A and B are shown apart, each in its own frame.
Chain A
């Protein structure tokens, strides 16, 4: 690869790193789907996954090549080669190779990290080479070779292109070992059909605009994939013709040759011949090009190569069949794909004539500036690729936008409800005002939703984690995901990721038992960890549930006493016992394993969640499993709230915690000897809480029957909140109370009303705690 010719600005690097990370995030879970497909014969599904993963490595290689990260390119290339083999055979790779690919992903991540910090990935050269060796080995095994472990590895590391080309040539000799199924042929025909269509279109454009680099590159890629696929299925003639055409195109791409009409003619002829072959193949006939030598000679002639060159081919095959595959085969003659992929992107900057551009756009789509078009693009599966259309925005800008929109909404309300307008009959004004309100509400909703992202990306990271844990702990674990579409503020979800990792690790290590144990307990051998998310009580709940052995109360108590966290005669509720788990340094593990046991993880969990003003709830059933619920507030989310009036004050009660509201009558109110008022509603007795007393306000009404009772529910607690009046439901933006005042019990935040007033949002669950404390307090004092 050439040196860095361009000086890349940080932004470009950042984009590359970010994009690549996104790709990795996307691909890892996909990769692990193979696990579940190990035993299925569903080749279609395998194929799809393979394609996805293949595309990742391919794009990675392309972008890295463009930026000159050679080590990264080499690694990605090997992974790609390996995947290509499976792609062609539509088999799921065995687990050890999936692992290998996962490790490759890890290495790539490390490289990306270095690129981000140092601007290059040189520090990983050694590990990259090691990984390449591993991948090489896998490739050889996959090709059906007996591996010669002692093969010299150093020389292969740089010229990574050679082996891959080799592998394709080699397949010639090994085709008889491979079972070629009718499906494979069908896919080949479909792919080839599409490939040739694009190829032909490109050549036609080139005929008119010989300088269109994009077309040359694309044609080159298409014919390259044609060669690969044909070679794999053993269509030797097709392969040879493609190979020659490919060489020719490479020469043109490298500017060693200039495109001219003659070349176009020959290439079109190639296209026609290949098309005819594809038709033959699709009819189940053998592929045989009758005037093979004629077309080969023609290609040679326009390439300016002496015809004798064609003898090279058999020799090459000869060499390779002797398993000395690391002989760098005639590198100069081999089309180097990295070079090819590097060009389209750079040429983008030169902006070709617009006319060409538009044609190119029609025939092929290369949308991003980073080279994307994978070489053997899986044309066989006709599903259109989901295009991600997002841009990165500075969070601070977003926050500012949201604040501004909030102010706009308030300002609008101040105009529309302006006291000066009172009593005036303004029909047209009101019409316009309604219109304005609608628009501003839409605007508000949209801006708020910008920050919200589905938890899916974070959840998907856990797939890889569980996979690794499964391997390390020798247990069988499956991970079920649900509610991935639940949206949560972007900054929050980032902070939730770490705690989730720790919790899942614990579940896998301590919770889920070994298959033998599980069997003896009458459970299925495979343990299940389910990860779900949902909106509840104006919060996001992320629930991790396992069907393992659950927390062991006695063991925790015993450890806690040992560690002097509690004294032996403390009487603790279950809840308090579970809280012990979060103590720093607390672990019931007898041995520190490489997964967990140091007692750090759960401490981290608690700290992180508390930082987000969230809560952790543990529901444990010994022997059956353990459920951890992370309750995370939606700092910036919108909630549906009921506006209630108490005295002169307006409060917002989250609609999610309201069960119903009613006007009580004298008959269904009772007072117990403690002075506690109780509402009897149908069959249940519900304590009544006078909000104005709690907040020391002057209430409009003193008699319960004059006001309204709002039945509020929080977990298992239920109580009736006495308020003066209800003022309807509103979608409100939660604003955090200032850091300066810290947490306030019973209030989760505030919101700004249409008239600019601040309304406190009541927090049903902490409110009940205050009430209970007050109640205990009054009881103990009397």
Chain B
């Protein structure tokens, strides 16, 4: 987990343009490392009753109880059995820690703003509304996710309904 400590040591400035890339369903995705607190292997998840959908349950992160979301389900993909490469990316946003379950972590990539295209303007519904932009690397395209939207768009409504 050297990556993790490396991430934490980076200051705000150097975090600019850096994205953690990971694979879901063989597609490359990226999240700005600004939001990421750590990356952990898959853990024992305690499911929560009465909650359907992508929130798989809660995990114990060194005494803190945080919910985990299966991004595959969030994207409407079929669920996969978790294996030893499955990772949980812990993000902290709006003072809430949430774990994102993804297929496997790739690397920390430098994607300057000049190489980021706006999201394709084809389909605004579905999962593409979570897309912040398309990062173009030499031989691959990385779909950059808007963590805020990913985590809070639907959930905000849900929370508001509960409250």
Contacts and interface: CB of A to CB of B under 8 A. Distances in A.
A741 B55 contact: yes
A149 B75 CA distance: 82
Task: Identify the interface centre among A406, A758, A759: most chain B CB within 10 Å of its CB.
Answer: A758
B97 interface: yes
A671 B59 CA distance: 38
Given A694-B49, A758-B60, A740 B65 contact: no
B65 A747 contact: no
B48 interface: yes
Given A410-B60, A741-B55, A750-B46, 4 more contacts: A739-B159, A744-B48, A752-B63, A758-B60
A752 B60 contact: yes
A478 B47 CA distance: 51
Given A694-B49, A757-B44, A742 B60 contact: no
B113 interface: no
B83 interface: no
A407 interface: yes
A752 B62 CA distance: 10
B162 interface: yes
Interface in A551-588: none
Contacts of A756: 44, 60
B51 A744 contact: yes
Given A743-B162, A752-B60, A758-B60, A738 B50 contact: no
Given A746-B49, A750-B46, A740 B60 contact: no
B24 interface: no
5 pairs of A and B residues whose beta carbons are closest in the complex = A407-B63, A758-B46, A695-B49, A742-B162, A406-B63
A649 B48 CA distance: 11
> Is the interface on chain A under 10, 10 to 19, 20 to 34, or 35 or more residues?
20 to 34
Contact of A738 (B47, B96, B162, B163): B96
Nearest to B162: A742
8 contacts: A737-B67, A740-B66, A742-B159, A743-B162, A746-B50, A747-B48, A750-B65, A759-B46
Contact of B158 (A407, A742, A750): A742
B148 to A, nearest CB: 13
Contacts of B102: none
A679 to B, nearest CB: 23
B151 to A, nearest CB: 7
B58 A758 contact: yes
B55 to A, nearest CB: 6
Contacts of B96: 738-740
A690 to B, nearest CB: 13
Contact of A403 (B59, B64, B67): B64
Interface in A747-772: 747, 750, 752, 756-760, 770
B98 interface: yes
A736 B51 CA distance: 16
Interface in A725-745: 735-745
B155 interface: yes
Interface residues of B, number: 26
Contacts of B67: 737-738, 740-741
A752 B65 contact: yes
B66 A757 contact: no
Nearest to A752: B60
A696 interface: yes
A21 to B, nearest CB: 29
Interface string A677-699: 00000000000000000111000
Contacts of B66: 738, 740
Contacts of A752: 60, 63, 65
A364 B144 CA distance: 71
Given A742-B159, A742-B163, A410 B58 contact: no
A649 B58 CA distance: 13
B81 to A, nearest CB: 17
Contact of B51 (A403, A741, A758): A741
A740 B48 contact: no
A740 B158 CA distance: 10
Nearest to B163: A742
A649 B50 CA distance: 15
A741 B48 contact: yes
A756 B44 CA distance: 9
Contact of A407 (B47, B48, B62, B97): B62
B92 to A, nearest CB: 11
B50 A744 contact: yes
A261 B62 CA distance: 70
A738 B46 contact: no
Given A757-B44, A758-B58, A745 B50 contact: yes
A693 to B, nearest CB: 11
Nearest to A696: B49
Interface string A186-230: 000000000000000000000000000000000000000000000
Interface in B1-56: 44, 46-51, 55
Given A406-B63, A757-B60, A740 B50 contact: no
A737 B49 contact: no
Contacts of B60: 410, 752, 756-758
Contact of B98 (A649, A738, A745, A758): A738
A410 B63 contact: yes
Contacts of B151: 740
B63 A757 contact: no
Nearest to A694: B49
Contacts of A747: 48-50
A404 to B, nearest CB: 8
Contacts of B162: 742-743
Nearest to B59: A758
Contacts of A750: 46, 58, 65
